[in-house]
Amino acid sequence: MTADPGQGEKGRIRQLPEAVANRIAAGEVVERPVAVVKELVENALDAGAGTVDIQFERGGKALIRVADNGFGMTSEEAVLALRRHATSKIRDVEDILRIGSFGFRGEALPSIASVSRFVLRTRPPGQAEGTEVRLGRDGQPEARSCGMSPGTEVAVENLFQSVPARRKFLKTERTESAHIVHLSRLLAVAHPEVGFSLTEDGHELFRSPACPDRRQRVREIFGRNRAEEMLPFTAKAEPFAMEGLLGRPGSGRSTRAEMITYVNRRPVSNRVLAYALIESYHRFLPRGRYPVAFLFLEIPPEQVDVNVHPGKREIRFRNEPAVRQAVMTALTGFLQATTEAQLGRASGEEAQRIPPSPPPAPAPAVVPSKPLPASPPPAKDPFPAAPREPRSLSSDSGERRADVPGGNKPWTFAGRLQERIGLFSAESGLVLLNPRAAQERVLLERISRESAGAAPERQALLMPPVLELPALEAGVLADQIDFFNDLGFEMEPFGRHAFRLRSAPAWLRYGDPEAMVRDLVGRLRDRGAGSGGGTPSTEVIARRAAMREARGGAPPRNAEEWEALANSLLACENPLLDARGRPTFIEIRNGEIARKLMLENLGELDPLEGLVGPEAPED
């Protein structure tokens, strides 16, 4: 290795100052304010805290304060805690293979202190006074005595004040606040034996003392409705132990946002557990719906690697197939037993403890996603055609034109296949129509036209419901409330994370307006607003609404209703696909029918000749 000629005798490789190294590490450990809250709360839990109080201001940018009543630190330990790689969690390399604590790297406190105004106050129970530690101008810890109760308090002010470039990458205060609230709730649910409180800008968001079980903690933090729709779950499959709260069969969400998984009480994002949850529920939820769950997996520390991600959000199992199989077996058995109880096969106290989940299903594997409408749709022309004539359409690819069967002539209803598929005769052949898909397409285009109008028709709700949403979903709805009002949902804020729904769009005939809004907000949170950036895509909302509305409509009951549906479909801009991209109908052309029946030309033969055959002897 030679020196750089332009630098004289100074070499190109040198050790970075500790302050620079700490700021580099802060870029990995402290991505945003919620990461600071996570590290400080985990330190408090590792210290044996019985209560944890969290305060923050302006989304955590101005202030984050976490106080606990744990065992605290001596003056020497407090100063050493601000040195890189100083920790009480591990001692040698073997400890990394069986980590039983939340923290272990010894990077969080010095990294946080390097990008903020940092104050650490701590006192062990056996000492008469506490210690206050700050960073001096030279970046070195300075300690002095202070009075305080036993425990530890960490205050972080003006986060990223020394790194303005990183501060510019933070989201709005509302978004950063929502992430802190969400994480605080997850940590509180994982530790019901610890009292938690959360205060934002001087307003207490929740205070929950130590609870006897997690269901009580969920009730206090997430609300009674969330707690009542979930059932306690416990199972053992050596060497694993599972417990938590699971949503009832038939009760699902449009996104994965409420699938919460923990490993050794650490909230994690893991594809093995997510896959096991989804696969376990696939027989008990409609397609496209995801379960609600707080699933806790206890596993020997040596069989899981938590040293994968700097923020410890991701983990890795040593034996992934065994974990997946154990979780799926336990969940499937629990859901099967719960479904049988819901269908009335439980008796006595157990049947009273598990109320039926609406709507009832004829078999455990079939659970409808919503109840039937209170009154059937009008018998006459339930899907009126738009004011234009059916016409030929080209395929989306533009390379091959596909004429609508029958040209400009309407289809003639000929019967039903297994009571679910409509059979139509057309000039070009036989058409098999999927009524659900056709209804989705008609509704999609109708909703698109109405939502594009200046003032969509609304229907006032007799008893306006109040929507209570999680923090992140409430932030999404608050940001897009004008868009929802333009769509026909008249809403207004009704508390911190609540909204009053006063009216719904007129096209929402069979659906539940409250459930519709929750689905749309969940979709926006999970997949973003759309190609336009801040404003949601009207087409995306229309597709979601059409799919949900079509589930509530009754299928055609007679020839007139079948033909009315067919005419409405052929009048659409794109009658070939439904809202999900599936075909609305398939066509069996005359030529194909003739070949199957070994006929010359189906269109040139009369019915008797077609049945007898061209070479049959005459009577």
DSSP one-letter string for 453-473: SSS--EEE-SS--EEE--HHH
Task: Please state the rounded mean pLDDT for residues 175-203.
Answer: 94
Task: Please state the rounded mean pLDDT for residues 529-548.
Answer: 57
pLDDT given at position 26: 52
Query: pLDDT for 593-616, tens place per residue?
Result: 887 888 776 655 554 444 444 444
Beta strands in 435-515 (DSSP E): 458-460, 466-468, 490-493, 498-505
Place of tokens 């698109």: 448
Distances 501 to 8, 225, 463, 466 between C-alpha atoms, Å: 73, 18, 9, 6
User: Cα(first)–Cα(last) distance of the chain, in Å?
Assistant: 107
Q: Is the pLDDT of residue 408 over 60?
A: no
Q: Is the pLDDT of residue 618 over 70?
A: no
- φ, ψ dihedrals at 180, nearest 5°: -65, -45
As separate numbers, helices (DSSP H) first and strands (DSSP E) second, the chain gives 19, 27
pLDDT given at position 530: 47
Q: What percent of the chain is modeled with pLDDT above 70? A: 70
Please report the domains of the chain, with CATH numbers, ordered by start residue.
18-213 (3.30.565.10), 229-353 (3.30.230.10)
Average pLDDT of the chain is 76
Q: Give the total residue count for the chain.
A: 619
* Alpha-carbon gap, residue 437 to 583, rounded angstroms: 7
Lowest mean pLDDT among 108-122, 535-549, 585-599, 604-618: 604-618
Q: DSSP readout, 283-351?
A: TTS-TT-EE-EEEEEE--GGGEE-TTSTTS---EESSHHHHHHHHHHHHHHHHHHHHHIIIII--HHHH
Query: pLDDT for 442-470, tens place per residue?
Result: 878 777 776 666 667 788 888 888 888 88
Task: Please state the rounded mean pLDDT for residues 393-416.
Answer: 51
pLDDT given at position 243: 95
Query: pLDDT for 376-394, tens place per residue?
Result: 444 344 344 433 333 333 3
For residue 8, is it left (φ>0), alpha (ψ between -120 and 50) or beta?
A: left
Report residue 361's pLDDT band, with 50, 70 and 90 as the boundaries: very low
Q: Is the pLDDT of residue 188 over 90?
A: yes
Q: DSSP readout, 549-594?
A: HHHHSPPP-SHHHHHHHHHHHHTSS-TTB-TTS-BSEEEEEHHHHH
Report residue 583's pLDDT band, with 50, 70 and 90 as the boundaries: confident
pLDDT given at position 69: 94
**DSSP H or E run through 487:** helix 481-487
Task: Please state the rounded mean pLDDT for residues 103-127.
Answer: 83
Q: Is the pLDDT of residue 293 over 90?
A: yes
Task: Please state the rounded mean pLDDT for residues 536-560.
Answer: 69
* Alpha-carbon gap, residue 194 to 554, rounded angstroms: 51
Which range scores top for mean pLDDT: 252-256, 327-331, 412-416?
Answer: 327-331
pLDDT given at position 376: 41
Report residue 395's pLDDT band, with 50, 70 and 90 as the boundaries: very low
**DSSP H or E run through 67:** strand 63-68
Task: Please state the rounded mean pLDDT for residues 305-321.
Answer: 76
User: Can you name the residues that pair with 458 across neighbouring β-strands?
Assistant: 505
Lowest mean pLDDT among 17-21, 169-173, 174-178: 17-21
- φ, ψ dihedrals at 244, nearest 5°: 145, -160
Q: What percent of the chain is modeled with pLDDT above 90? A: 26
* Alpha-carbon gap, residue 276 to 232, rounded angstroms: 18
User: 610 by DSSP, 3-state: which?
Assistant: helix
